[in-house]
Structure formats: C-alpha cells, structure tokens
Amino acid sequence: MFAADIRDFVARQGLAGAVVVNVASTEPAPADGSLPPSSLYAAAALRAGCPYVNFTPSTGLHHPALAALAESSGLPYAGRDGKTGQTLLRSVLGPMFLQRALAVRAWSGTNLLGGGDGAALADPAAAAAKNAGKERVLADTLGAAPEGEVHIDDVPALGDWKTAWDHIAFDGFLGSRMILQTIWQGCDSALAAPLVLDLARLAVRAREKGLSGPLGELGFYFKDPVGDGPSSLAEQYTELKRFADRLRDDAETHEAHR
C-alpha cells in the first residue's frame, strides 16, 4: 500500500523516479521480531523501485526479515543515522587520540535539544537507539569503548538548537592525566539538509549506474554505516571522493558510448 502511494506520487508528478530518505523522528528499538514502521516504509521504497536512505537510527532495512527483499530488489541503499554534530566531532577526535597513542580513559557527553527531536528522544527507548550509534563510533575509532555515558535531554526552551558537551579524560606519557572538552552549538536541521541532498543525489546516481545493495562508500555521512568501511572521518572522506569519481567516470564512459 505504501509502495503504491510512492508509485502514484511518481506517476502523478511525471517524475523519472524517486529516492526515499527516512528523516522521521527516531523510533524505539523494536520488540523481538516485529517490523517497526521504519521497516515497513523501507520495504515499500524498494517495492516501488526506489533507492532507500535511512538518515535516522531507526531500524529501516536493518532487519533480518528484509534481507531477502534488499538483496533481490537490485536497488542501492544507504544508512544509518546521519552524523551531524557530536558524533561528527567524535569521528575526527577519536582517530587523533589513537594516532597519538593517547589512551582515552573516559568519554562523557550531554546533549541538550528542544524541538520535535528533543521530545522524541525524551523517550528512553528512542534515546537508547540513538546512543547506540554514538557509542559505536567511539568503540570503532578507539578500538574499545571507554568509560562514560551519553545523555540526551529534552529542553524545549532551546527550540531547534542543540548544544552538545563532551568531556574526554585521557592519559599521556607516564600516565599524566589530561582533559579535552568540546561544546558544539549547532542547528541539526541546517547540518542535516545538505547531507540529505548529497545522499539523494548519490543514491539516484548509484542506481543509474546499476549499483545495488549496501553503499558502504557513504560511511562519511553516517554514525553506523552499512558495509564495513573505515570509521575515521578522514578515511571515509577519501573513500567518498573515490566513489564520487567512480560515479562520474562511469558517466563519462556512458556518454562516450552513446
């Protein structure tokens, strides 16, 4: 039914095609095997012949019941969970500590945000889904998860503005204790919008080039990327540029063939 809605939309608007991007509020991790709403929409996207991008930590295609469909659809997909603020920072700071052999002992964080996102994440189950992605970035870039918690507070007075404080305790030579703190004051929707535009274009282009399955080359955009690419932002950027070149080269090849 969702799939029919998408096909109707494409037909009514006279479009060549569509790409489905999930930017809805984070949903709680689903109980046992049931399919959450984000998965129903993801399946509909593929059934309607659309590439799919999951910009949230919600389940989407990340569910065993959808593995066969994802495989047989012949469509490209990407996700999960856009890396816009605190986690973006973590994905460059984590590698810095590792490369300098500075042992991170504790990494703690608090996020304050209002707007719909704050209210959605005031639900502990939704926050748990969100935090899993944040922690994965640390564990992946540092080799192991350090001590420390992440809080997400709904503070309606802040509206769409988010403040993220991070406190990192690390040890230098001979165990000397040092501290780095970061304070990020950003607007998530303004940070997400250009990434969503990029992703929509890249997904469409990937489909045009006949690519299918998980687009692991897009890890630059995500907290918990599909595939098994690198976790440091710098390496993800190198991979993204290589991928973009490939999509472009293909294009030139293609045009030469006409």
Residue numbers of the site for a second copy (CB under 8 A)? Answer: 88-89, 92-93, 95-96, 99-101, 105-106, 108, 110, 112, 146-149, 151, 153, 155-158, 163, 165, 167, 169, 172-174, 176, 178-187, 190-191, 193-194, 220, 232-235, 237
What is the closest distance, in whole angstroms, from the C-beta atom of residue 183 to a second copy in the complex?
4
Nearest to 127 by CA among 57, 189, 40: 57
Q: What whole-number distance in Å separates Cα of residue 201 and Cα of residue 4?
A: 23
Q: Which is nearer to a second copy, 46 or 192 (CB)?
A: 192
Q: Which is nearer to a second copy, 44 or 233 (CB)?
A: 233
What is the closest distance, in whole angstroms, from the C-beta atom of residue 155 to a second copy in the complex?
5
Q: Which is nearer to a second copy, 42 or 233 (CB)?
A: 233
Q: Which is nearer to a second copy, 50 or 233 (CB)?
A: 233
Q: What whole-number distance in Å separates Cα of residue 163 and Cα of residue 52?
A: 30
What is the closest distance, in whole angstroms, from the C-beta atom of residue 154 to a second copy in the complex?
9
Is residue 59 within 8 Å of 29, Cβ to Cβ?
A: yes
Tell me how far the alpha carbon of residue 25 is from its chain's centroid.
13
What is the closest distance, in whole angstroms, from the C-beta atom of residue 191 to a second copy in the complex?
6
Is residue 218 within 8 Å of 199, Cβ to Cβ?
A: yes
Is residue 219 within 8 Å of 230, Cβ to Cβ?
A: yes
Specify the amino acid at residue 233: L
